[in-house]
Homo-oligomer: A and B are copies of this chain.
Amino acid sequence: MSEPQTPDWVRDAVFYQIFPDRFARSLTVPKPSHLDEWGSPPTYHGYQGGDLIGVVERLDYLVELGVNALYFTPVFQSASNHRYHTHDYEKVDPMLGGNAALSRLLEEAHSRGMKVVLDGVFNHASRGFFQFHDILENGANAAYIDWFTVHSYPLNAYDSMNQPGYQAWWNLHALPKFNVKNPEVREFLLGIGRKWIDLGIDGWRLDVANEIDDDSFWQEFRRRVRGGNPDAYIVGEVWGEAKRWLQGDMWDAVMNYLFTRACIAFFIGESVDRGELGRTSFHTLDPIGAPAFRHALETMIGHYHPNVNAAQMNLLDSHDMPRFLTLAQGDKSALRLATLFQMTYTGAPSIYYGDEIGMPGKHDPDNRRAFPWYTPESWDRDLLHDFQRYIALRRTRPALRRGSFQILLAQDDVLAHARQLGSETVVVTINTSRSTRRVDIPLSGLVPEGSGFDEVWTHETHRSEGDHLRGVELAPRSGRVFATPLPS
């Protein structure tokens, strides 16, 4: 197989993940009357009424934050507040403003140079999905009987005391699993994959994508999607190693939960809320120091081609986890250090909405609170400012987005790594300990002896000596970034 080709723009992307019911609510989108109050404690079944025009109205905030790509959890018509239970793949949910709102969002986002990736739930439908509903209504006479895998009639779709009677995701009655062996189903799903690309989206995040255990499906998916947009980004949800799908013929990348895992262990470490951690798919994680973190990163990078690593979606948390800050029991230094690392690492960072202002959130549903637009006093503006700085750093420094990655030092609680692109070299060093550290950072021959580095933000000058940056003092729980001048 030739080398994987991943979309070039993803190297420059900083994603912002939006949970549409909770990010922003526009007064211009008509809503059903029976909604929970904006900002009330999230429940499993209540809606708070966010919508896509609300996102349009907040695009300037996102531009100011510095992100340039949006990843939306599902937006298609669904009778669930998270919209993973798809009722209709051809319609944006009416509560989100319908298809017209998505078109408007695409137009407004694109005009700001911002990409838009949607969440595709192709493994399973919902029990209200038309072709499944046909089986519910007509039993063995249904026209679409082989779109799903039925074991016995009548189905017990709404009878939780009995087995569903059909193949379902995690045997959940609500989520009948598609029979992708059926060519009609393939054609339907592949058509959906293409349809929204043709309508202007920039890529797909694929929900529980490894559970469609059929490489030819994903190969054809890639052909269809790329046929519509050769730059479309295809990113699967896989929580572990994902070589099988990242050889260049299926997806471009995965949501990099291996990265998440390593960051929790290293940047949060001992402070982790073990109760909340126990509710994640990680269950337990031993705290690690810099050497083990280095090992985790190098193992991860070793799995994939550099073109894949450069396109990975690196996240610290998501709608499927407690927020990073909550896992850290409120220790904002952990979030700051992890974000600094995320913004200087290879692959596309993804920020879960609200992390940047210090929103807390335990496991689902608490991690899906409404963005507090109307209580700005609750925002941590210092944190927001640091997010802006870290994002801006990435966006102004090509080496951070496209450069090589190399670990220079991994000792006790101190990590130093370099990114290099042509004559541009950036050195990042992070001290996760609660004490001051003073280190000599080996430069591994990356720069000529006596090279000058600017410390970003302070603009102090440092010079390499004997292939080291010597005597670098690191305050407790802090990081410093040194960079050669940008080529003019």
Contacts and interface: CB of A to CB of B under 8 A. Distances in A.
Interface in A175-207: 184, 187
Given A159-B158, A159-B159, A184 B33 contact: yes
Nearest to A47: B143
Given A32-B131, A32-B143, A128-B137, 9 more contacts: A31-B143, A32-B147, A33-B184, A46-B141, A47-B143, A95-B143, A128-B133, A136-B158, A158-B158
Contact of A144 (B32, B139, B142): B32
A79 interface: yes
Contacts of A46: 138, 141
Interface stretch (A80-88, A352-360, A471-479): A80-88
Contacts of A126: 137
A392 interface: no
20 contacts: A30-B187, A31-B143, A32-B146, A32-B147, A32-B184, A33-B146, A34-B142, A34-B143, A43-B141, A45-B139, A46-B138, A46-B141, A47-B143, A49-B143, A88-B88, A88-B130, A90-B91, A128-B128, A136-B158, A137-B174
A35 interface: yes
A406 B201 CA distance: 66
- The CB with the most chain B CB atoms within 10 A, among A36, A46, A137, is that of A137
A34 B145 contact: yes
Interface of A: 30-36, 43-47, 49, 77, 79-80, 85, 87-88, 90-91, 94-95, 126, 128, 130-131, 133-134, 136-139, 141-147, 157-159, 174, 184, 187
Nearest to A158: B158
Given A157-B158, A158-B159, A35 B143 contact: yes
Contacts of A145: 34
Contacts of A143: 31-32, 34-35, 47, 49, 95
A174 B158 CA distance: 14
A138 B45 contact: yes
A136 B44 CA distance: 14
A94 to B, nearest CB: 8
A186 to B, nearest CB: 13
A349 to B, nearest CB: 34
Given A157-B158, A159-B159, A130 B87 contact: yes
Contacts of A157: 158
- The CB with the most chain B CB atoms within 10 A, among A34, A45, A157, is that of A34
A100 to B, nearest CB: 13
Contact of A85 (B30, B31, B137, B158): B137
A77 B157 CA distance: 21
A45 B141 contact: yes
A43 B36 CA distance: 45
B184 A134 contact: no
A198 to B, nearest CB: 15
A79 B128 contact: no
A146 B34 contact: yes
A149 to B, nearest CB: 14
A43 B142 CA distance: 12
Given A45-B141, A128-B128, A133 B87 contact: yes
A348 B145 CA distance: 41
- The CB with the most chain B CB atoms within 10 A, among A32, A144, A159, is that of A32
A140 to B, nearest CB: 8
Contacts of A131: 32
Contacts of A147: 32
A484 B120 CA distance: 70
B138 A79 contact: yes
A30 B43 CA distance: 42
Nearest to A147: B32
Contacts of A90: 91
Contact of A137 (B79, B130, B137): B79
A30 B126 CA distance: 23
- The CB with the most chain B CB atoms within 10 A, among A35, A80, A134, is that of A134
